[in-house]
Amino acid sequence: MSTAVHVRGLRKAFGPRRVLDGLDLTIDDGEFVALLGASGSGKTTLLRVLGALEAADSGEVLVPPARTVVFQEPRLVPSKRVLANVTVALPRGQAERGRRALAEVGLRDHADNWPNTLSGGEAQRVALARALVREPELLLLDEPFAALDALTRMRMQDLVTELCRAHRPAVLLVTHDVEEAVRLADRVCVLRDGRLVTDLPVPLPRPRDPGDPAFAALRRRLLADLGVPAPAPHPSPAPEPDPEAEPAPESRRTTPEEVS
């Protein structure tokens, strides 16, 4: 398998603050990697460097030329209809290609709608269609589900899984959600102090069940690597007395006379 992303010794600072400090990362073609880290740890900075939205100070960064980014906000152009948003910056005559992309995300009938008529989940699906219509070799996802309600988020996670299986780009997902990372990714990395301190494969069959003990164990490990202590076990409550149970016979002291 060939490598889509090759990063060695990446450094990036903002003033005196070094955000990325000699970071190494590889992502193979078609591989889905999730990146976890505390707020301000440099996750989005790394994604922006890979997307050519930010310049590295030093280090080696090799990425495919065909790459797209989906942000937390859909960033649709309000003056363009949905189909025009999907095909924006593509050559003329790509309307049918855009319609196919909308059909993939379940929005073929919304092609002529305006962005302000869409729900949050629909708008984010349009953003996904806009990214995938370009057939990227690298798809960069910057917390794309963070602003969605829990049910819509789960549906979007399932949709991204299906789309990535169909298109097979290399994927880097930046997220704060440990469960989301384990549910979606082939590998999960943790970024701390400017470097990756964890890089774990996720060898669980799909679809993944958060109730699976192996899922829960991996989640605990990642939370520990993020510095989140495991919750203290709750003491087991004392069993309530059974009102229908017969009372135990009272014990009494044996007297010397009874012994003799």
Q: Is the pLDDT of residue 257 over 70?
A: no
User: Token match 């219509």: residue?
Assistant: 133
At a CB cut-off of 8 Å and minimum separation 6, what does 212 contact? 204
pLDDT tens per residue across span 1-21? 799 999 999 999 999 999 999
**Residue 53: Cβ within 10 Å count:** 12
Looking at 42-51, 140-149, 195-204, 243-252, which range is the least confident one?
243-252
pLDDT (average), residues 77-106: 95
pLDDT on residue 133: 95
Q: Hey, what are 162's tokens? A: 């299906």
pTM given for the model: 0.86
Q: Which residue has the tokens 């189909």?
A: 83
User: How do strand 17-28 and strand 170-174 relate by DSSP bridges?
Assistant: unpaired
- What is the per-residue pLDDT for 260? 40
- Strand blocks (E) in 15-109: 17-28, 32-36, 58-62, 67-70
pLDDT band at residue 251, thresholds of 50, 70 and 90? very low
CB under 8 Å to 83, separation ≥6 — which residues?
A: 95, 98, 99, 102, 111, 112
User: Cβ distance 185 to 27 under 8 Å?
Assistant: no
3-state helix, strand, coil in the chain (%, to 5): 30, 25, 45
Q: Indicate the pLDDT class of residue 259, thresholds 50, 70 and 90.
A: very low
The 10s digit of each residue's pLDDT in 82-91 is 999 999 989 9
Angle between helices 150-167 and 120-132 (to 10 degrees): 10
If you average pLDDT over every residue of the chain, what do you get? Answer: 90
Q: What percent of the chain clears pLDDT 70, i.e. is strictly above it? A: 88
pLDDT tens digits, 180-216: 999 999 999 999 999 999 999 999 999 999 999 999 9
Say if CB 179 and CB 210 are below 8 A apart: yes
Strands of the 17-28 sheet, one edge to the other: 17-28, 3-14, 58-62
- Structural domains in the chain plus CATH codes: 3-80+136-225 (3.40.50.300)
Q: What single letter denotes the amino acid at residue 136?
A: P
Which of these, 94, 103, 85, lies nearest to 163 by C-alpha position? 103
Task: Summarize the confidence of residues 111-119 as an average pLDDT.
Answer: 97
